[in-house]
Structure 1
Amino acid sequence: MPTQPRVLVIRGGAIGDFILTLPVMRLLRDMIADSHIEVLGYPAIAELARAAGLADSIRSLEHRTIAPLFAKTAPIDEALAGHLRSFNLIVSFLYDPDGHFRASLERIGVKTLIECSPLVKPDGPHASRQLARGLEKIALFLEDEHLLRAHFPHSPLNHPRIAIHVGSGSEKKNWPLDRWQQVADSLGPKEVIFITGEAEAERGIHPAGRDTWHALPLPELAARLATCTAFLGHDSGISHLAAACGVPSLLLFGPTDPAIWAPPQPWVHVLRNPTQELPHLSVDQVKLAATQVVANS
C-alpha cells in the first residue's frame, strides 16, 4: 500500500508574509494528492494554515532543536533529523545566504529540498507569485485559482458589520486614528468594530467609543472577520487576513506598492494618494471610498 506523501513547508516572517504564502500552500495541497502537510513556523501565525485547511500539523520554528540547523557543524538532534527525513519534500522560505541550513539538511539525509526566496523584488510581479517561483523547479506553477480566492469561508451576518484595523507594522503605513474615527462616525447606525493588537497598544492607540477586538488569536480573529460585511485598513497583515476571509475591503496605501503588496483578491480596493503619503489622504476621500465599498458589500 503506498504511503501518504509528506510535505514540510518552512515559513517564518510576520502575519502578512505568511498569508502571502497561503496560495503556495494551496498549490501544494491541490497538486500533491492526499498529502500530509506540516508547517514549521511561528505557531501563533502558522495556525492560520491549519485553520484554512492547508496544513495538517504545526511545529515551532523557535524550538531549541532548530537552531543547530543554522550552524556549520553543530550536532543536530537525532529525533528532529529523523522527523525531517520523513518528508518526501521540504519547501523552505528561510533566508539562508551562507547555505548552512541547506548543508545541515543534506548532512542528515533529507530527500528533496526546494528553496523559495523570501525576498520580494520591488520591480517584480505580485509578492505571492514571486514567493511561488521556487516551486517551478518541480513543475508546480501558481495559477489565479490559487491566488485570487478566499482561504477561509466568508459567512457575513445578516446585518452590516464593518471592521476597521487602525494600525500596521510601520508608522509610515498608518492613517491617523482621529481620521478613522471620523470615517466610522460617517457610516451611520451600522456595527463598527475596531481591531487593535500589541503594536497599537505600544503606540498608545486606543479607539474610544467603539467595540474593539484586541490582540485576538489569529484563528479567532479570522473567524470573526469572516462575519464582517466590510473591512477598512492599511497595508498590514490583518488586511491580508480580512481579504483571505473574503471580506470586501478598502485599504489605504502609502509608500508601499499595492501592485506587489496589496491582497490580490478582486474584492480588495486600494486608495492611494499620488504623493504616496498617507497623511495627504483626506477624510472626505476615505469616507467616499468607504461608503462605496460598504454599499456594494
Structure 2
Amino acid sequence: MKALVCRMGGLGDSILIYPVLEILTKKGYEVTVWGNPEYFRLAEKAGFCKKAIFYEPKEEFGLKIIFSQNREILSGDNSIYINPVPEEQIWIVDYYLKKLGFQNEGFSKTLPIAHSFRVFKVQDSKKKDNNLCIIHPGSGSKKKNPDLIFFFELERFLKNSGFDVFFLLGPAEMELVKKIKNSVYLENPVEIAKTLLKANLYIGLDSGVSHLSSYLGIPSIVIFGPTSPSVWHPIGENFQIIWYEGCKACFPDVCEGRKCLDSESLLSKIKALQIYQKA
C-alpha cells in the first residue's frame, strides 16, 4: 500500500510529522512525502519514508494525509485533512497522532540516523569535541528572537564555564553573519545534523534547528518566548525549556514589551540549570 503525506512548511514543521511517517512505515506503507525534499532527507536516512518530492505526484496512493486546511489539495475519498495548528493546548505531535488514530502507537524519541553518517553515536560523548556548545541565535520569526546582546552575554558565560562555543547560522540569520565572527553558516539539514552531533550542548530558540538538535538526542536548551512550549516543544528526551510563565503565549500578535525574552532574565534562568555542572 502506498501513502502520500503532504506537509509544506519549514524545517521544524517538517520534523514534527516524522513520527507520523515512522508509524505509517511500520504499518507497511510505502511512504512518499510531498513538501520541501531537503527537510525530509533525514527522514529518508532514518527509513521513515521512501522519498520526498517537491511537485505534486502523478501516481496513485491508497492513503493521502494532507496537513492543510485547503481541502482542494489532493481531494478524494482516501484523503485525510489535518489542520497544521491544533485547536487546543496539546503537544503538536500528540495532536497529529490523535487525529490519525495513532495515539497508542510508539515512535522514536531519538532520530536513528547517526549510523548513516558513519560517525560516532550520539551517546558516545568521548568522541565528541570536548565541552562544545553550539548556539543557534535565530528562528523563523524575529518576534521569537531575543536581542543579540543576550547571545554575546551567553557566549561569555559559557566560555567562563569551560565550554568551547560557536554560533550556527542559516538563511534566517543572514544579517548576523558579519556581526558574529565566531560562527558557521549552513543551509543543508543533513550537514546541520552532522555538525550538531559534534556538540555536548546546544542552546537555541523555538526553531527548526532546535527541534533537530533535541531529536538527535543532544542535550538541548530551548528558549520559548511568545510561542507555547506545551504545544510546540521538540521531540526528544534530553531537552530543557526556558520560558517566562508570567504571561500567556501571544504569537503572532506579540506585545511590544516582550518580557518573555528579557535578556537578563533568560541568562539568569540558564545559569541556574544543572546541565552546566561539569562532571
TM-score interval, smaller chain:
0.7 to 0.9
Measure how far apart 1:207 and its partner are.
4.7
CA separation of 1:264/1:241 partners in 2, compared to 1, >3 Å: closer, same or farther? closer
CA separation of 1:44/1:127 partners in 2, compared to 1, >3 Å: closer, same or farther? same
For the pair 1:146 / 2:111, whether they are aligned, the reply is no
CA separation of 1:24/1:14 partners in 2, compared to 1, >3 Å: closer, same or farther? same
**Distance in 2 of aligned mates of 1:186 and 1:285:** 11
TM-score normalised per structure 2? 0.81
Equivalence for 1:190: 163
Greater Rg by CA: 1
Any idea what the Cα deviations from partners look like across 1:177-233, whole Å, max 9, x if unmatched?
2221221122234321211111211x44645342x2213301111122122111001
2:97 counterpart (132, 150, 167)? 132
Whichever structure has more helix as a proportion of its residues is: 1
Query: How many residues get paired?
Result: 255
Runs of at least 4 residues off by over 6 Å: none
**Distance in 2 of aligned mates of 1:263 and 1:226:** 17
**Distance in 1 of aligned mates of 2:200 and 2:142:** 27
Equivalences for residues 44-55 of structure 1 within 5 A: 44-55=38-49
For the pair 1:228 / 2:199, whether they are aligned, the reply is yes
Counterpart contact for 1:172–1:278, Cα < 8 Å: no
Measure how far apart 1:275 and its partner are.
3.6
TM-score normalised per structure 1? 0.76
Any idea what the Cα deviations from partners look like across 1:71-122, whole Å, max 9, x if unmatched?
xxxxxxxxx44x1x1x2322221331xx32244x45xxxxx3232321222x
**Farther-moved stretch of structure 1 (148-157 vs 245-254):** 148-157
Measure how far apart 1:158 and its partner are.
5.3
Equivalences for residues 204-223 of structure 1 within 5 A: 204=176, 206-210=178-182, 212-223=183-194
Equivalences for residues 259-274 of structure 1 within 5 A: 259-274=230-245
Counterpart contact for 2:131–2:199, Cα < 8 Å: yes
SS, match of residue 184 in structure 1 = helix
Residue identity matched to 1:193: F
**Distance in 1 of aligned mates of 2:110 and 2:180:** 34
Residue identity matched to 1:146: F
